[in-house]
Amino acid sequence: MRWGTPVTLLAAALLPSALPDAFLLHLMTSVAIAAILALGLQFLLGVSGQLSLGQAAFYGVGAYGSALMTGAGLPFAAAVPLAAVFAGLSSLVLIPVTRLRGPYLAVATLGFSIIAYLVIKNEEWLTGGSLGLMGISRPALFGERLRDPAHVYWLCAALAALVYLGLRRLADSRFGRAAHAIRQDEDAARASGLRVTLIKSQCFVISAAVSGLAGALFAHHIRYLGPADFSFWKSVEVLIMVVIGGVGSAAGAILGAAVVVLLPEWLRAVGDYRLLVFGGAVVGLMLFGSGGLAGLPGALRRRPEARP
Amino acid sequence: MTPLLEARGIARRFGGLVALDAVDMQVAPGTVHGLIGPNGAGKTTFLNVIAGAFPPSGGSLRLEGGDITALAGDARARLGIRRTFQNLKLFPEMTALHNAAIGLHADGRAGVLSALLRLPAQRREEREIMARAAEALDFVGLAGQAGRLAGTLAYGHRRLLEIARAFAPRPKLLLLDEPAAGLNPTEAVALTALIARIREAGTTVILVEHHMDVVMTVCDRVTVLNYGKHLSTGTPAGIQADPRVIEAYLGQDALAEALAC
């Protein structure tokens, strides 16, 4: 397990040399971006216990933000982090709802997601409306446009790795412990002197900023934005990634992102039935236990023994 | 001498029910102050009002002379009022050590950025928090359980862990809500000694407890509530001899006997 992270990083870094296929690299770039998105929700749900169905909104703020800023002449390297910050700040409008718990919070964030979708779809002067934004610039580093799919892949994979390590550090810190404690018992957390609403809001901002980063990378990777990618279905997709990966496991979130992006591609062979098979696979995985993919080895090991 | 805690005319109504009716209480610093009374007398409600779990319907609270009536529970905790819960509220998915570390959260400063960058100051603070958390576990006798998840601890150990989490920051005032509930006689004796050591360490204690052995052994002063009203305050011996107290407990044979012994 100690070798898991370095081995995965090495494999991810060597992938373009091992399989120099443009479509595969395009897919793996999408996996890296989806992984960042899933890690953002993983932190919110797995560490602080807040269920958000509004991640598509922050993803959208990041995507359109970065596309518009680079369109206005800002360099990629400045626009992407700025878009992430902007997505984080946009979540501040949700501070009043962080007092809500469980399903109430989920529905409130879902409402936010629907509003964001409608804004993207209808504010044509800003977002291009249903036609979307076209001709978004390629990612660029040090003034050099990244034309090679391998370079774009490396950039996104490296950022996914940074987000993974950063959120792991955060979870394993004074701040992360406090968020984790609040998830388990708010009354006891308050009685220990924790500023519950502040910490929950900070988790929201962090999660939204990470989602915004994913959105910004998505914009420059696909280079076209339309409202369809930011509907509430996207929020659900992120939740599926986190849950099938295993709530509480950062590695699981990456695994879940890979499954949600890659499985429908592999299932193209079954044609129209692919989403049906995908849905069935999601249901089947849940039957194995709530640990998701990350909990699967343990669930299989326990299987022969008598279940409680 | 200024009392550590002074409650004046504390009232608390739940709808039409009067749980507390103009209760006065003064707690001297460095003492263990018992809070007893028949079931439903309002002991836990009073403790919740002191802790700030909910505001009083009337009256005022002063900590070391400063008015804290308007402060929320988390702010009072940061001022040095910590508590345990009658029905155990631990963080079951965290280790015993990390549970105690949450008690020390307010003493730390490291935020999101320093956690991301793992600056030397942040690492030093983490080491200090963990050392103090381990010390608190050791103080209550849980040094051997530091790495275990709180949810897997034996019942008696969970009670002790709650005390460790509340006592870790060396609070000015520690509110213990029936800490002996569910403990066997040996554990209750050990708990009595622990409360005495907490007092020696400089923390004032308010103890709500049904085990009269524990109350009479360790308390310096005892306040008796009955039907939400202050009935009597005095030394354990004085309380036991007070006819009003005996009358209040009359009909509750077990407790009346416990008081008489």
Over residues B154-211, the pLDDT tens digits come to: 999 999 999 999 999 999 999 999 999 999 999 999 999 999 999 999 999 999 999 9
Q: Check if A190 contacts B (Cβ < 8 Å).
A: yes
Q: Determine the Cα–Cα distance for residues B46 and B9; give it in Å rounded to an integer.
A: 11
Nearest-Cα distance to chain B for A27, in Å, is: 29
Mutate which of A192, A201, A207 to disrupt the B interface (most B C-beta within 10 Å)? A192
Token digits for A55?
Answer: 């991640």
* Selection from A75, A99, A102, A33 nearest residue A253 by Cα: A33
CB-closest option in A184, A185, A206 to B112: A206
Q: Does the pLDDT value for residue B107 go beyond 50? A: yes
What's the confidence (pLDDT) of residue B260?
Answer: 59
Task: Name the residue in chain B with its Cα closest to that of A184.
Answer: B91
**A169, B116: Cβ pair inside 8 Å?**
yes
Q: Are strands B58-63 and A140-141 parallel, antiparallel or unpaired?
A: unpaired
Which residues of A fall within a CB distance of 8 Å from B92?
184
Q: Does the pLDDT value for residue B142 go beyond 70? A: yes
What's the confidence (pLDDT) of residue A305?
Answer: 46
DSSP A2-24: TTHHHHHHHHHHHHHHH---HHH
Q: Check if B98 contacts A (Cβ < 8 Å).
A: yes
What's the confidence (pLDDT) of residue A308?
Answer: 40
pLDDT 10s digits, A278-308: 888 888 877 876 677 887 777 777 655 444 4
**B103, A192: Cβ pair inside 8 Å?**
yes
Q: Are strands B58-63 and B5-14 parallel, antiparallel or unpaired?
A: antiparallel
**B98, A192: Cβ pair inside 8 Å?**
no
**B116, A166: Cβ pair inside 8 Å?**
yes
What's the confidence (pLDDT) of residue B251?
Answer: 52
Q: What is the mean pLDDT of residues A242-249?
A: 89
pLDDT 10s digits, A44-101: 999 999 999 999 999 999 999 999 999 999 999 999 999 999 999 999 988 888 888 8
Q: What is the mean pLDDT of residues B202-222?
A: 95
The SS3 assignment for B106 reads helix
Q: Check if B126 contacts A (Cβ < 8 Å).
A: yes
Q: Check if A85 contacts B (Cβ < 8 Å).
A: no
Q: Are strands B58-63 and B66-67 parallel, antiparallel or unpaired?
A: antiparallel
**A174, B110: Cβ pair inside 8 Å?**
yes
Adjacent-strand bridge partners of B230: B225
Q: List phi, psi (to 5°) of B81.
A: -110, 110
Q: Determine the Cα–Cα distance for residues B224 and B38; give it in Å rounded to an integer.
A: 9
Give A168: exposed, middle or buried? Use CB within 10 Å, 0-12, 13-18, 19+. middle
What's the confidence (pLDDT) of residue A307?
Answer: 42
pLDDT 10s digits, A173-216: 999 999 999 999 999 999 999 999 999 999 999 999 999 999 99
Token digits for A167?
Answer: 């959120």
- Calculate the dihedral angle through the C-alpha atoms of B23, B24, B30, B32, rounding to the nearest 10 degrees: -40
**B102, A177: Cβ pair inside 8 Å?**
yes
Which residues of A fall within a CB distance of 8 Å from B171?
none
Mutate which of A44, A170, A174 to disrupt the B interface (most B C-beta within 10 Å)? A174
What's the confidence (pLDDT) of residue B256?
Answer: 56
What's the confidence (pLDDT) of residue B246?
Answer: 85
pLDDT 10s digits, B225-251: 999 999 999 999 999 889 888 888 765
* Selection from A2, A7, A127, A17 nearest residue A67 by Cα: A127
What's the confidence (pLDDT) of residue A256?
Answer: 92
| B147-152, long-range: CB < 8 A, 24+ apart | B147/B95, B147/B96, B147/B97, B148/B95, B148/B96, B149/B92, B149/B93, B149/B94, B149/B95, B149/B96, B150/B90, B150/B91, B150/B92, B150/B93, B150/B94, B150/B95, B150/B96, B150/B99, B151/B90, B151/B92, B151/B93
pLDDT 10s digits, A102-126: 889 999 999 999 999 999 999 999 8
Q: Is the model more confident about B113 or about A40?
A: A40
| A124-133, long-range: CB < 8 A, 24+ apart | A126/A64, A126/A68, A127/A64, A127/A225, A127/A227, A128/A225, A129/A227, A130/A226, A130/A227, A131/A226, A132/A224, A132/A225, A132/A226, A132/A227, A133/A64, A133/A67, A133/A68, A133/A71, A133/A219, A133/A224, A133/A225
Q: Check if B163 contacts A (Cβ < 8 Å).
A: no
What's the confidence (pLDDT) of residue A302?
Answer: 64
CB-closest option in A185, A187, A192 to B105: A192
B12: left (phi over 0), alpha (psi -120 to 50) or beta: beta
> How much is the mean pLDDT over chain A?
89
User: How far is residue A133 from each of residues A27, A227, A230, measured CA to CA in Å?
Assistant: 21, 10, 13
Would you say the C-alpha torsion A266, A271, A275, A279 has a positive or negative sign? negative
What's the confidence (pLDDT) of residue B253?
Answer: 56
What's the confidence (pLDDT) of residue A306?
Answer: 42
> How much is the mean pLDDT over chain B?
93
Q: Determine the Cα–Cα distance for residues A58 and B137; give it in Å rounded to an integer.
A: 42
Among A130-144, A174-188, B33-47, which stretch is predicted with the lowest mean pLDDT? A130-144
Which residues of B fall within a CB distance of 8 Å from A178?
102, 105
Q: Does the pLDDT value for residue A269 go beyond 90? A: no
Give the angle B129-B134-B140 at the CA atoms, nearest 5°. Answer: 130
Q: Does the pLDDT value for residue B258 go beyond 80? A: no
